Amino acid sequence: MTGVETPLLSLREVAVTRGYRALLAGINLDIKPGELWQLTGPNGSGKTSLLRAIAGLIRVGVSGTIDRPETLLFQGHAPGIKGLLTPLENLQSHPGGLIEVESDRVREALAAVGLLRCLDTPVMRLSAGQQRRVGLARLWLSRSSLWLLDEPFTAIDRQGTTLLEDKLRSHCERGGAVVFTSHQDGKFGANLNQLELADYAAR
């Protein structure tokens, strides 16, 4: 069954070099719809670099072939949120595009991440965790099937972590795929695939 499904993302002999330092080599990976992948590894092992390479942000120093879908959602350490704008304004004109921007849908998404009471507050007056949630509200509006999330659980409280885990799981159940980096072991159980980058460290 899974054999016939075409992968959303496939990596063939991918190697990543940053500056003069070879980070990763020999990565072969097929990610099919419905799969949830966690990139693990110690600090500096190249999790963020690999994720940025998959997103197409870094090309220099990346060898091998990466077949990525035409559209994807990428969330880095900084989510592209402007402190001067309100959460609503931020999401409706978000530079990442590919999300639904009708104001009712955005309101629903902000309610889902628990920001209903801060709709008209400039983001810079929100707490760090709330600011992260504004960025994560994009997941509720996304029209892309592949999500690449760099440390999505940073600065999120326990209730928010559960919410986010549920969201990632339901995205996979609806035929999407998620690749994320995290140091925490979430409660994904057997659904979670892990790629330990220490095994692919370049020598």
Rounded to a whole number of angstroms, the minimum distance from the CB of residue 70 to another protein is: 7
- Confirm or reject binding of residue 176 to another protein (CB under 8 A): no
Rounded to a whole number of angstroms, the minimum distance from the CB of residue 58 to another protein is: 5
Other Cβ atoms less than 10 A from the Cβ of 18: the count is: 15
Which one among 5, 26, 67, 98 touches another protein, defined by CB under 8 A? 98
Taking Cα atoms as reference points, which of 78, 84, 160 lies closest to residue 123?
A: 84
Contact 91, 101 (CB under 8 A): yes
What span, in angstroms and rounded, lies between the C-alpha atoms of 123 and 81? 8
CB of 93 or CB of 162, closer to another protein: 93
CB of 53 or CB of 195, closer to another protein: 53
Contact 148, 55 (CB under 8 A): yes
How many of the chain's residues bind another protein (CB under 8 A)? Answer: 32
CB of 84 or CB of 190, closer to another protein: 84
**AA letter at 54:** I
Residue 198: both structure tokens together = 């220490």
Taking Cα atoms as reference points, which of 91, 117, 23 lies closest to residue 61?
A: 23
What span, in angstroms and rounded, lies between the C-alpha atoms of 181 and 166? 16
Q: 12 vs 32, 41, 86, CA distance in Å?
A: 15, 20, 42
Positions in 38-97 near another protein (CB under 8 A): 52, 55-60, 70-74, 76-85, 89, 92-97
16: CB partners within 8 A, 6+ apart? 22, 23, 24, 25, 46, 49, 50, 53, 58, 61, 62, 202
- Confirm or reject binding of residue 163 to another protein (CB under 8 A): no
CB of 130 or CB of 192, closer to another protein: 130
CB of 47 or CB of 52, closer to another protein: 52
Rounded to a whole number of angstroms, the minimum distance from the CB of residue 190 to another protein is: 30
| Per-residue x/- track, 113-132, another protein (CB under 8 A) | ---------x----------
Rounded to a whole number of angstroms, the minimum distance from the CB of residue 150 to another protein is: 10
CB of 124 or CB of 198, closer to another protein: 124
What are the residues binding another protein (CB under 8 A)? Answer: 52, 55-60, 70-74, 76-85, 89, 92-98, 101, 122
